[in-house]
Amino acid sequence: MNHPALSGPVRFFGTCLADAVFPDAGMAAMRILDHLGCSVVYPLEQGCCGQPAYNSGFPEQARTVAMQQVRAFRGEGPIVVPSGSCAGMLKFHYPRLFADHPQYFEVAAFSERVVEYFDFLVNVLDARFEDKGPPVRVTWHSSCHALRETGSTQAAKALLGKLCNVELVELSREFECCGFGGTFSVKRPEVSAAMARDKVEDIRATGAQVVLTADCGCLMNITGTARKLGYDITGMHLAEFIWGRINEK
Amino acid sequence: MKSDSFDFTAALQKALADPQIGGNFRGALDGLRGKRLALFNDAEELASLRATGKALKARVLSRLPELLTQLEANCEKNGIRVHWAETTEQANRIVLSILRECGADMVVKGKSMVSEEMGLNRFLEQNGVEPVETDLGEFIIQLAVEPPSHITAPALHKNKLQVAEIFHRCVPGAPYTENVEELNAIARTTLREKFRTAKAGLSGVNFAIAETGTLVLVENEGNGRMCTHVPPVHIALMGLEKVVEKLDDLPPLMRLLTGSATGQLLSTYVNAITSPRAEGELDGPREVHLVILDNGRSTMFADPELSGALRCLRCGACLNNCPVYVRVGGHAYGSVYPGPIGAVITPQLEGIDNKGDLAGASSLCGACEEVCPVKIPLAGHLRRIRAEGQAAPGEGCVRGAGAKRSLVERLAWTAWAYTETHPRLREYLLRAAALMGDKLPEVGPLKTWTAARTAPRVAPKSLRQRVREEGIRHE
Amino acid sequence: MSSTPAREAILTRLAAACRTPAPVPAPADIWDAPELDAPKRLELLAKRLQAVRTEVHVTPEKQWKAKLAELLAARKPATLAHGTGAWFAKDLPGICKKPGMPALTPYYEDVDQFKDALFGVEASITTARAGIAETGALLLTPDAGEPRLLSLVPPVHFVVLRARDIAASFAGAIRDLKLAEAMPANLVLISGPSKTADIELTLTFGVHGPKELIALILT
């Protein structure tokens, strides 16, 4: 492999939710990169992208946290993010957040390097995987920001489609928000819960054993709601699912 | 519209518990969304249309005072009398004085969201003039004494059984029928008599063309044409952002409006009024009046960011595609303009202290922006309104800025920012939370979260820990 | 009227807020529908009008009177209103003189005198000044010879359009008719019978305007 992206390190932005709640997803995502020949680096000073404060009307606090990320990822080469929402924040909203600030150019240079994880796998690495797993039926939830900000949903679904033993059953409302929306889920809990319930019912109607997504926020919301309703639905980040499929004995 | 005691949370809960909104409403809007998608099935053409729409309206805003003056001059030249109103109160007075002058004690009304904004019907009733809504949907909700629940489909929240009951109860001599055709016929017969006898008609304006002094009205029923052609006096109401530069701008804007609203290539009628009855004409109004309303728009205009919302065509596509709106309907917003665009403009028109909460009714999923025909950055505007709500004294630009300022929340975010900038502290806190397992005290946001979901389990080892322990390169 | 201080206040506020040094430029290429040759225009107009429930009859100009007679005989309206300035006004008495044909009701007096008659008429016939293929619309410019309410009040509306007057697009019609230079007092685009979907989004026709729209396109 002599792809330019592989000549230097690929820095991994784990996301705060993978760090705290879904470390298996983060580990799997990095192992896949390693498996594809990338030199993966995890900057230890990283944390949340700052989106919760940004969306809640606290841009000052969001900027403080954003600068922490910009500094943690000093250097060159791609910054790969296994979440459309965090990637959208880092790539598109950071420059807006710093539009009139002296750090603008430093921030913009950082944002320039950000790539959504599946976008990177498909469009930079041209990844292909051998599916060693048993036949399984899955469904897929498109995260809003992967769909509308990073535009990386197609890439993720293309990878999924190449797993030969995996049958994908589409949701009837694949593109509708699951109701997470970060702090929205606790600031407007009545509406958020209604949206999450509908999403879970939609998933249940597919008869799939697993729901896959590329965003830990959606994942936490969907699996938490399903469990509360007593439904036996397994949710998984697509990276973790793929890593499992290629390592099946 | 009064908003003093508006309890958004209660309104949302009530709407979510309403099975009719949960079922019919969403299903009906699915139909509209499907039609829009079917019409705009060529992604490239849609992109070109939206780019054109945005550019045309942005250009209008960059020359707004000049174009309004040009519109006024051309209208006056054509014989249309132009009136200006800073407030809804002034606009109401203007309308009333025109009606008094022509001796109208009844006025037939075509659909006008601006008239809803003015609370015109109530004002006219208080002053002895009977306003008659003639758009079928508006007619239904006027009889039911309710505000519209959607910008373009005002009676969307009513099913035919309810309409049957309302007509039977409120329209003299109307039989009880659940047949939609027959219900339409009742409205037709009742309203034809009103059209025939009214001394004045009232309408909104979809586009006002500065170049020619033309008022363009878009509709499907023909009631708008009845209101503007049959009575001897026509009064048109417009928000000052409705002006467009040239007649040539109309085709793309029309396509965007009807396509986004209902998936129609064109509405049944496009009625372009350039003057009252001309020399020799046998019909058409003898007087046409145009009332140009500000009501806070010039303040919105002064904000370089939020002025983008003045590009709005009032197509309602952002409502139809909003996962919050489709579940709660228009009434829950307690404002004339509901949905994403309503949550952006209402706090600006009525103040953040009154209606700032509306901006919270969005997961910022971006579905609204994706369909907006003039590319209003709705999610960004909602975020901005939220920030305005939290603004420090003297710092906000929007009316009522800082009204949502909460010391507790501010402290929480500041503490969060501190933790996020001290990764080791963050890791200790996570470890502590992991040790607590499911014994994490369910208070504050976690309590709210767990009302509908199980609590997230903090992993025994964080990703950061595992990176160090499992040999991932780190720095 | 106290509108002058309001006008000054509004315009002053707007002018003060106009910070942009230069107006946003007009878009380089305004979206427009594709150009079409004459047969395509006719074909598309007919197709799109039919899609919104308009009855379309394409007839050679020489036979159009027979066609209209046939349509009237089939529908049997008791009365047919028309404007005295329509190019075919002189032909109508001939067409309607046979038994079973509607009584002609010419619209020649002020609406105040004619209103009651008009609201009782069963059908009307008007010209269309142009057709718009791309949106499936008929463009009417009512005037002294063909008043505005003819195309609105009667429940059945016949429209006569010459195929050569069909423009490819709305923008094309604006150019062809030089509308920007001289807008008529009233201009209407009509793309089908009056309709509504205000009750449960159920589409029904003829709520306020005509229930039926019949287009005769003369080739």
User: What pLDDT sits at residue C3?
Assistant: 52
Span C82-108, average pLDDT: 96
User: What pLDDT sits at residue C20?
Assistant: 65
With contacts defined as CB-CB under 8 Å, which chain B residues touch A92? none
Token pair, residue C35, equals 């150009």
Return the residue of A nearest to B386 by Cα: A57
Q: Inspect the interface and report whether the beta carbons of B448 and A20 lie closer than 8 Å.
A: no
> What are the backbone angles phi and psi of residue A149, rounded to the nearest 5°?
-110, -60
B:272-331 residues touching chain A, CB 8 A cutoff = 323-324, 327-328
Token pair, residue A58, equals 């606290």
Neighbours of C141 (CB within 10 A): 19
Cα–Cα distance measured from residue C192 to residue C190, given in angstroms and rounded to the nearest whole number: 6
| Close Cβ partners of A112 (under 8 Å, ≥ 6 residues apart) | none
Span C201-208, average pLDDT: 90
What pLDDT, in 10s, does the model give residues A86-139? Answer: 999 999 999 999 999 999 999 999 999 999 999 999 999 999 999 999 999 999
CA of B349, closest CA in chain A: separation in Å?
19
Cα–Cα distance measured from residue B28 to residue B35, given in angstroms and rounded to the nearest whole number: 11
What pLDDT, in 10s, does the model give residues A17-44? Answer: 999 999 999 999 999 999 999 999 999 9
DSSP letter assigned to residue B239: E
Span A212-230, average pLDDT: 97
DSSP letter assigned to residue B220: S
Q: Is B404 on the interface with A (CB under 8 A)?
A: yes
Q: Inspect the interface and report whether the beta carbons of C14 and B68 lie closer than 8 Å.
A: yes
User: What pLDDT sits at residue A5?
Assistant: 53
With contacts defined as CB-CB under 8 Å, which chain A residues touch B445? 183, 186
Band the pLDDT of C27: cuts 50, 70, 90: confident
Interface test with B, best of C30, C208, C212 (most B CBs within 10 A): C208
Q: Inspect the interface and report whether the beta carbons of A58 and B410 lie closer than 8 Å.
A: yes
User: What pLDDT sits at residue A6?
Assistant: 63
User: What pLDDT sits at residue C21?
Assistant: 65
Q: Is B59 on the interface with C (CB under 8 A)?
A: yes
A–C contact: 3+ Cβ pairs < 8 A: no
Q: Inspect the interface and report whether the beta carbons of A20 and B328 lie closer than 8 Å.
A: no
Comparing CB atoms, the residue among C134, C136, C208 nearest residue B188 is: C208
| Close Cβ partners of C209 (under 8 Å, ≥ 6 residues apart) | B221, B222, B225, B226, B268, B269, C152, C153, C157, C193, C194
- Please name every residue paired with B238 in a beta bridge, in sequence order, or none if there are none: B292
Q: Tell me whether residue B438 is exposed, middle or buried, using C-beta atoms within 10 angstroms of its C-beta: 0 to 12, 13 to 18, 19 or more.
A: exposed
Span C7-29, average pLDDT: 84
Band the pLDDT of C1: cuts 50, 70, 90: very low
Distances (CA, A) of B92 to A206, B97, B194, B217: 55, 9, 22, 21
Interhelix angle B8-17/A189-206, rounded to 10 degrees, is 30
Cα–Cα distance measured from residue A141 to residue A212, given in angstroms and rounded to the nearest whole number: 6
What radius of gyration, in Å, describes the C-alpha atoms of chain A? 18
**Mind listing the pLDDT tens digit of every residue in chain B (475 residues)?**
444 458 999 999 999 999 888 777 888 899 999 999 999 999 999 999 999 999 999 999 999 999 999 999 999 999 999 999 999 999 999 999 999 999 999 999 999 999 999 999 999 999 999 999 999 999 999 999 999 999 999 999 898 999 999 999 999 999 999 999 999 999 999 999 999 999 999 999 999 999 999 999 999 999 999 999 999 999 999 999 999 999 999 999 999 999 999 999 999 999 999 999 999 999 999 999 999 999 999 999 999 999 999 999 999 999 999 999 999 999 999 999 999 999 999 999 999 999 999 999 999 999 999 999 999 999 999 999 999 999 998 888 899 999 999 999 999 999 999 999 999 999 999 999 999 887 888 888 899 999 999 999 999 999 999 999 998 999 8
Interface test with B, best of C194, C198, C204 (most B CBs within 10 A): C198
Report the b/e string of B124-152 with b at 16+ CB within 10 A.
beeeebebbbbbbbbbbbbbbeebbbbbb
Return the residue of A nearest to B384 by Cα: A57
Span A241-245, average pLDDT: 98
- Please name every residue paired with C81 in a beta bridge, in sequence order, or none if there are none: C105, C124
C164: pLDDT strictly greater than 90: yes
Neighbours of A208 (CB within 10 A): 21
pTM higher than the cut 0.85: yes
Greater pLDDT, A8 or B314: B314
Return the residue of B nearest to A59 by Cα: B387
Query: B219: helix, coil or strand?
Result: strand
Comparing CB atoms, the residue among B240, B272, B280 nearest residue C183 is: B272
Cα–Cα distance measured from residue C92 to residue C73, given in angstroms and rounded to the nearest whole number: 14
Return the residue of B nearest to A58 by Cα: B387
Report the percent of chain C where pLDDT is more than 70.
97
User: What pLDDT sits at residue B294?
Assistant: 97
Task: Report the half-sphere exposure of B271 (CA within 13 A, side-chain side).
Answer: 27
A230: pLDDT strictly greater than 50: yes
